[in-house]
Amino acid sequence: MSRKYLIAGNWKMNKTPADGADLAKEIAAFVTKDESVEVVICPTAVALDRVSSVIEGSAVKLGAQNLYPKASGAYTGEISAEMLRAVFAKYVVLGHSERREYFGETDAFVNEKVKFSLENNLNPILCIGETLEQREADETLEVNKTQLLGGLEGVSEEDMPKVVIAYEPVWAIGTGKTATPEMAQEVHAAIRSELAAKYGEAVAEKVRILYGGSMKPANADELLAMKDIDGGLIGGAALDAKSFSDLIASAR
């Protein structure tokens, strides 16, 4: 497989800038310059600048947790792509289920953000995933297909290698429950085949599909062993240097 594993820490609304800087320092010390795994950390907006300074010159990359799809202006509380680039962010998490659930983000809005991030040289990590109710109603593949294709509407074939997909079953987020490797692989394979149908096999083979939802050192090896799982978008286990470095080690 030619895809490089990606381990991305989604810190959510945790860590002050000072605490984030301490954690980033520990992570940067662990990640080597010739790292076989791509490592990204996504602090809160107020910690981005400080964390960026700490990881400067290391192999750790910076990601943001959101952006607003307009260049600038009267959008109180929002953050632009230019601001993210100014702190050297490379990635941006978009469409996380928490944003869909608590902030009413729709596929159409997530799609605007995905396109805007690509136009502004930021790599989107597009999150998709079904709820427990949807899984129990046997709608898993359909729901993920709708969110995937909705989020990628109008994204060109040339841009696709810059896009990362994160499959995060909502019922496995913050619950301690994880999809079994086989359950996750089934959805990852379906995502890749949707990508192949839309963009062709060669493009689909290049796109990294991360698993998210209570990925931790105890289950990472078996998840990462699956053919179509190319890394993880990590929640709680990314907040601790030891568990995050164990996850990186699992991906090496």
Q: Which is nearer to ligand 3PY, 109 or 211 (CB)?
A: 211
Residue 44 binds ligand 3PY, judged by CB under 6 A: no
Closer CB to ligand 3PY, residue 14 or residue 193? 14
| Shortest distance (Å) from residue 232 CB to ligand 3PY | 8
- Would you state the structure tokens that stand for residue 160, as one six-digit string? 């696709």
Min separation Cβ 218 and ligand 3PY, Å: 13
d(CA 247, CA 239): 12
3-state helix, strand, coil in the chain (%, to 5): 50, 15, 35
Distance CA 80, CA 120 (A): 10
Catalytic site residue from 35, 38, 98, 168 = 168
Q: Which residue type, as a one-letter code, is found at position 118?
A: L
Task: Point out which span in 78-86, 103-111, 150-158, 212-220 binds ligand 3PY (CB under 6 A).
Answer: 212-220
In the residue annotation, 96 being an active-site residue is answered as yes
**In the chain, where does DSSP find H-type helix?**
17-30, 48-55, 81-86, 97-102, 107-119, 132-136, 140-152, 181-199, 201-206, 217-224, 241-251
121: Cβ–Cβ under 8 A, 6 or more apart, which residues?
81, 85
Does 123 engage in binding with ligand 3PY (CB under 6 A)? no
Q: Identify residues 82-121 at the interface with ligand 3PY (CB under 6 A).
A: 96
**Is position 188 annotated as part of the catalytic site?**
no
Residues that bind ligand 3PY (CB under 6 A): 10, 96, 168, 173-174, 212-214, 233-235
Catalytic residues: 96, 168
